[in-house]
C-alpha cells in the first residue's frame, strides 16, 4: 500500500452529529473545522447526522440550523473542502443548491445499497452546481459485491466522481470490504474513485479502511475521536497515524491530528465512543448505527431493553432512515407479557 | 342515487389502471366502461377486454371521440401524459381524476376536502403517502392546532416504480404541502424510505403531529379512531399499528396499509391506497354532482 495517496474525509461534524444528538453549536463547528483544516484533513463533512433536511421528529431536531453550521465551517477553512450529505427522500434538491451557495464544495448523495436509482437527478444536479460529486451506498453489507458494482454504476453514470462502500452498520469484516471495493474498482471507470466509510461496532473500522485501500479505495472516512453513530467511526487521528506508519500518503499531519482529537474534539463529546453490548450488537446484527441512541431513548421511555429493540429491528431488516420503527417496536415489546429467554 | 351507475374511463393500461379497473367493477356508484391505452398488446387492455370493457389503444383521442362513454376519466398514465391529455378531457366536458403527479388540479383526499372541489375539472390524488397520512393529520387538527406535522412513509422497494424513483423530491414536496393545505398543519414535512427486504414489507406510515401538552388526548384519540374507520371504509387494508403514542408535545400515529391484491401484490399498499382512494373520489364526486343537479 506504500505510496498510495488517500483523500481523507472527516465527518465529525456530520456523522458525529448523531452522537451529539445533533446538538452542535456554531462555535463548535468553527473550532473543529478550523482545527481539522490546519491539521491537513482534505474534506470536512458538515450536515445533520441524517443529511440535509434531517432535522425532524424522526431523527431529532438540531440545536443549530445545519446551513448555519455549513456556512460557518466553510468560512473557517482555507485548504479543506466542506462537504454535505443528502439522502434523497429526506432532503431535497433545494438543500443542495443552498449548501453550495454557502460554500460547500463536495456533495455526497446517499442511498441504501440497493436503491441507487433514486439518486441520479440529485447527482446530476450536484455536478451542475459545480460540486465535487460523491455517491454513498449505505448499509453495504446488505448487498453483494456484484450488486454493489451494479448500483455504483448507476451513480457513476449520473455523475458521481467517487462512489463509496458505506458500512453504516459496522457489520462488514475485512474480507467483505475487500470483495466489495474490488468489484467496484474493477468495474467502474478508472477515473472514478472508490471510497470507504467504516463504523467501529466490531472494532474493525481502521482494519476495514486498510483493506479498502489495499483493494483500491482512495477516499477514506473518519471522525475525530471516532465521534459518530453506534460505536463510532474510524478515528481520523488513528487513520492518519496508521497511514503514516504504512507509508500511505495523506495530507493530514499525525501530530496535529492527535492535538485536534485531544484538545478540540474530546472536550465536546457527550459520551465516550464504546463498543458496548448495544453497539456491538449493531455490527453483529447488521443494524444501522444511528439507531443506537434512538433505541436507548425508546428503551427508557417504554421500560424495555435496548438489546431487544435492536434485535427486533435487525429481524425486520430495517434500512437507514427507519428510526420511526424503533418507537413502534418498543411500544410493541412493552405491550407483550415478559417472555423468558430474551 | 338514481340507480344508474356513472360511466367512467380509465386512461392508462399499466399496473395502476388495471388495479383500478378491478376496484371500479365492485363500485355501486361507478361503472368502468372503457380502458384506453397506447399499447394494444398490454396485459391491462387484454384484461379489460376480457372483463367486457370497451378497449382502445388510441389514447386520449378515443375518449375525446367518445365522450358519452364516460363522465369521469381516471388518469393512470404519467404526469407528462396527463399534462397533454388534461385540456382535451376538459374540452370534452369530462372530469379528470388524476393519479399522476401532474398536480394540475387541487389535491383531494376523500373524507377530508372533496366538497370544496367537486366542480374542479381536474382533481389530483396527491401521493400514496399523502392519502395514507393526511387524513390522520386532519383528524388531529380537527381537535387541536397542529403547528407541525411530519410523516415517514416506508414502502417496499418492489412497489416503487421508475416514476417515483426519478422524482422522489416530488413525493416529499407534494406530500408536505398536502399535510399543510389539506391536513391543516401549519408546517409539514414528509420523508420517504424504500426498503428492499424480502418478503416485501407492507406500506408503513408514521405520522407525528406537534400538539400542545394541554391538548385533549382523549378527544384526539377518538378523532383518530373515527378517521381510521372512515378511511378503512374505502381502503379495507388501512389500519393502525397499536395505539397512538403521546409524548410531551407530540402524538405519533402508526399506520399500515395492506393492499387488496386486486392486480397488484398485497404489500403494495402504497399503490392500492391510490387506486382505492381514486375510486372513493369518483364515487363522492358522482354523489355531489347528483345532489347539485337534483333541486332541493
Mutate to test the interface with A, among B169, B203, B254 (most CBs of A within 10 A): B169
Grid cell, residue A7, equals 483523500
Q: Which residue has the cell 465521534?
A: A227
Q: Return d(Cα B173, Cα A167) in angstroms, integer.
A: 30
What pLDDT is stored for residue A342 in this prediction? 43
Coil, strand, or helix at residue B164?
helix
B206 in contact with A, Cβ within 8 Å: yes
Quote the minimal CA–CA distance from B227 to chain A in Å: 20
B39 HSE (CA, 13 A, CB side):
11
In chain B, positions 242-281, which contact chain A (CB-CB < 8 Å)?
242-243, 245, 247, 250, 252, 254
Distance CA A152, CA A185 (A): 10
pLDDT at res. A3: 77
- The pair phi, psi for residue A144, each rounded to 5°, is -75, 165
Q: What is the DSSP string of A276-342?
A: -HHHHHHHHHT--TTHHHHHHHHHHHHT--HHHHHHHHHHTT--TT-THHHHHHHHHHHHSPP-TT-
Distance CA A168, CA A172 (A): 9
For chain A, the residues whose C-beta falls within 8 A of a C-beta of chain B are 56-58, 88-90, 92-93, 112, 114-115, 117-118, 120-122, 142, 301, 316-325, 327-328, 331-332, 335
CA angle A216–A220–A221, rounded 5-degree value? 155
Report the candidate in A88, A322, A208, A170 with the shortest Cα–Cα distance to residue B170: A88
| Rounded (10°) CA dihedral B222, B225, B230, B235 | 170
Inter-chain CB pairs, A–B, below 8 Å? 91
The three cell numbers locating residue B225: 379512531
B217-246 burial, b at 16+ Cβ within 10 Å, e below that, comes to eeebbebbeebbebbeebbebbebeeebbe
Residue A78 φ/ψ region, left for φ over 0, alpha for ψ in the -120 to 50 degree band, beta for the rest: alpha
Residue of A nearest to B194 (CA): A115
Select from A118, A298, A303 the residue whose CB has the most chain B CBs within 10 Å, as the one to mutate to test that interface: A118
Q: Which residues have CB under 8 Å from A281's CB, separation 6+?
A: A287, A307, A310, A311
**Alpha carbon distance B229, A64 (integer Å):** 41
Rounded Cα–Cα distance for residues A216 and A196 (Å):
10
Cβ–Cβ of A316/B150 closer than 8 Å?
Answer: no
CB distance A196 to A248 below 8 Å: no
pLDDT at residue B295, as a whole number: 62
Handedness of CA A271, A273, A277, A281 (dihedral sign): positive
Does residue B172 sit at the A interface (CB-CB below 8 Å)?
A: yes
Which pLDDT does position A339 carry in this prediction?
54
Residues of B in contact with A112 (CB under 8 A): 194-196
| B225, B150 Cβ separation under 8 angstroms | no
Count of positions (residues) in chain A: 342
CB–CB contact A92 B172 (8 Å):
yes
Quickly tell me which residue has 463504523 as its cell: A199
**Per-residue model confidence (pLDDT) at position A186:** 98
For β-strands A81-86 and B72-75, DSSP reports them as: unpaired
- The neighbouring-strand residues paired with A233 are A199
CB B100 within 8 A of CB B167: no
Residue of A nearest to B169 (CA): A92
What was the pLDDT predicted at B290? 87
What are the cell numbers at A19?
452522537
Contact yes or no for A233/A19 (Cβ under 8 A): no
Interchain contact, A322 vs B193, CB within 8 Å: yes
Query: Closest Cα of chain B to A22: distance in Å?
Result: 18
CB contact under 8 A, A317 and B195: yes
Closest partner CB to B191 (pick from A58, A120, A327) = A58
- A18, A22, A122, A197: the catalytic one is A18
Question: Cβ(A252)–Cβ(A42) under 8 Å?
Answer: yes
Residue bearing cell 367486457: B52
- A54 → chain B, closest CA residue: B191
Find where cell 469484516 sits: A173
pLDDT of res. B26: 96
Report d(CA B44, CA A114) in Å as an integer.
Answer: 29
3-state secondary structure of A165: strand
- Could you tell me if residue A226 is left (phi over 0), alpha (psi between -120 and 50 degrees) or otherwise beta? left
C-alpha A113/C-alpha A135 separation (Å) is: 10
Question: What is this structure's pTM?
Answer: 0.95
CA distance A331 to A329: 5
Q: Are A319 and B194 an interchain contact pair (Cβ–Cβ within 8 Å)?
A: yes
Strands B95-98 and B72-75 turn out to be parallel
Cβ-Cβ contacts under 8 Å for A336 (sequence gap 6 or more): none
| Residues A96 and A86: beta-carbon distance below 8 Å | yes
What was the pLDDT predicted at A276? 95
Q: What pLDDT, in 10s, does the model give residues B124-136? A: 999 999 999 999 9
Q: What is the pLDDT along chain A (342 residues), one digit of tens a residue?
A: 677 899 999 999 999 999 999 999 999 999 999 999 999 999 999 999 999 999 999 999 999 999 999 999 999 999 999 999 999 999 999 999 999 999 999 999 999 999 999 999 999 999 999 999 999 999 999 999 999 999 999 999 999 999 999 999 999 999 999 999 999 999 999 999 999 999 999 999 999 999 999 999 999 999 999 999 999 999 999 999 999 999 999 999 999 999 999 999 999 999 999 999 999 999 999 999 999 999 999 999 999 999 999 999 999 999 999 999 999 999 999 998 765 444
**Are the CB atoms for A18 and A290 separated by under 8 Å?**
yes
How far is residue B204's CA from residue B151's CA, in Å, rounded to a whole number? 10
Record: contact B208-A92, CB cut-off 8 A: no
Cβ contact (<8 Å) for A328 and B208?
no
Low-confidence spans in chain B with pLDDT less than 70 = 1-3, 295-296
Contact A93 B169 (CB under 8 A): yes
Report the alpha-carbon distance of residue A162 to residue A184 in Å, rounded.
11
Helix (H) or strand (E) holding B124: strand B122-124
Predicted local confidence at residue A234, as pLDDT: 98
Q: How many residues does chain B have?
A: 296
Strand order in the sheet with B122-124: B54-56, B30-36, B6-11, B72-75, B95-98, B122-124
Amino acid at each position: 500500500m506504500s505510496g498510495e495517496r488517500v483523500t481523507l474525509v472527516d465527518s465529525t461534524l456530520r456523522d458525529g452529529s448523531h452522537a451529539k444528538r445533533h446538538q452542535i453549536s456554531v462555535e463548535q463547528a468553527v473550532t473543529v473545522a478550523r482545527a481539522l483544516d490546519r491539521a491537513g484533513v482534505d474534506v470536512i463533512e458538515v450536515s445533520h447526522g441524517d443529511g440535509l433536511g434531517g432535522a425532524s421528529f424522526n431523527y431529532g431536531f438540531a440545536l443549530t440550523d445545519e446551513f448555519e453550521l455549513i456556512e460557518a465551517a466553510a468560512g473557517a477553512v482555507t485548504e479543506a473542502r466542506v462537504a454535505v450529505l443528502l439522502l434523497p427522500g429526506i432532503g431535497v434538491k433545494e438543500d443542495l443548491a443552498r449548501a453550495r451557495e454557502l460554500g460547500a464544495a463536495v456533495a455526497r448523495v446517499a442511498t441504501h445499497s440497493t436503491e441507487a436509482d433514486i439518486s441520479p437527478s440529485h447527482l446530476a444536479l450536484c455536478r451542475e452546481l459545480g460540486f465535487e460529486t460523491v455517491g454513498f451506498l449505505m448499509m453495504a453489507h446488505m448487498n453483494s459485491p456484484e450488486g454493489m458494482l451494479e448500483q455504483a454504476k448507476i451513480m457513476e453514470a449520473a455523475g458521481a466522481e467517487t462512489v463509496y462502500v458505506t458500512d453504516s452498520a459496522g457489520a462488514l469484516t475485512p474480507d467483505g470490504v475487500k470483495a466489495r471495493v474490488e468489484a467496484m474498482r474493477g468495474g467502474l471507470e478508472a477515473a472514478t474513485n472508490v471510497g470507504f466509510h467504516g463504523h467501529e461496532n466490531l472494532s474493525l473500522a481502521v482494519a476495514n479502511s486498510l483493506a479498502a485501500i489495499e483493494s483500491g479505495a482512495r477516499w477514506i472516512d473518519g471522525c475525530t475521536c471516532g465521534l459518530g453513530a453506534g460505536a463510532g467511526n474510524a478515528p481520523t487521528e488513528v487513520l492518519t497515524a496508521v497511514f503514516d506508519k504504512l507509508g500511505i500518503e495523506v495530507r493530514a499531519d499525525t501530530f496535529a491530528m492527535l492535538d485536534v482529537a485531544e484538545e478540540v474534539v474530546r472536550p465536546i463529546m457527550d459520551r465516550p465512543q464504546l463498543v458496548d453490548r448495544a453497539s456491538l450488537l449493531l455490527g453483529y446484527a447488521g443494524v444501522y448505527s444511528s439507531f443506537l441512541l434512538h433505541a436507548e431513548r425508546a428503551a427508557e421511555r417504554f421500560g424495555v431493553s435496548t438489546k431487544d429493540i435492536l434485535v427486533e429491528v435487525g429481524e425486520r431488516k430495517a434500512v437507514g432512515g427507519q428510526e420511526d420503527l424503533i418507537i413502534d417496536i418498543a411500544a410493541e415489546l412493552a405491550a407483550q407479557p415478559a417472555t423468558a429467554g430474551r | 342515487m338514481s340507480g344508474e351507475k356513472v360511466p367512467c374511463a380509465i386512461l392508462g393500461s399499466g399496473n395502476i389502471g388495471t388495479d383500478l379497473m378491478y376496484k371500479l367493477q365492485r363500485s355501486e356508484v361507478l361503472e368502468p366502461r372503457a380502458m384506453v391505452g397506447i399499447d394494444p398488446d398490454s396485459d391491462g387492455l387484454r384484461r379489460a377486454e376480457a372483463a367486457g370493457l370497451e378497449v382502445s389503444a388510441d389514447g386520449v383521442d378515443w375518449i375525446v371521440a367518445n365522450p358519452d362513454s364516460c363522465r369521469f376519466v381516471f388518469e393512470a398514465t404519467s404526469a407528462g401524459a396527463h399534462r397533454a391529455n388534461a385540456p382535451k378531457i376538459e374540452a370534452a366536458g369530462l372530469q379528470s381524476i388524476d393519479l399522476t403527479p401532474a398536480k394540475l388540479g387541487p389535491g383531494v383526499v376523500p373524507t377530508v376536502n372533496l366538497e370544496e372541489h367537486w366542480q374542479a375539472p381536474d382533481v389530483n390524488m396527491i401521493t400514496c403517502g399523502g392519502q395514507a397520512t393526511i387524513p390522520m393529520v386532519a383528524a388531529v387538527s380537527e381537535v387541536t392546532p397542529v403547528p407541525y406535522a411530519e410523516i415517514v412513509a416506508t414502502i417496499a422497494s418492489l412497489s416503487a416504480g421508475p416514476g417515483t424513483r426519478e422524482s422522489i423530491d416530488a413525493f416529499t414536496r407534494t406530500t408536505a404541502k398536502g399535510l399543510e393545505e389539506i391536513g391543516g398543519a401549519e408546517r409539514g414535512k414528509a420523508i420517504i424510505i424504500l426498503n428492499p427486504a424480502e418478503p416485501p414489507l407492507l406500506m408503513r406510515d408514521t405520522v407525528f403531529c406537534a400538539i400542545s401538552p394541554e391538548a385533549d388526548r382523549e378527544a384526539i384519540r377518538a378523532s383518530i379512531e373515527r378517521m381510521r374507520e372512515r378511511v378503512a371504509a374505502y381502503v379495507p387494508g388501512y389500519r393502525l399499528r397499536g395505539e397512538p403514542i403521546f409524548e410531551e408535545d407530540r402524538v405519533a400515529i402508526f399506520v399500515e396499509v395492506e393492499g387488496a391484491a386486486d392486480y397488484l401484490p398485497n404489500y403494495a399498499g402504497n399503490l392500492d391506497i391510490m387506486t382505492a382512494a381514486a375510486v372513493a373520489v369518483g364515487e363522492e364526486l358522482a354523489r355531489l354532482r347528483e345532489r347539485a343537479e337534483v333541486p332541493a
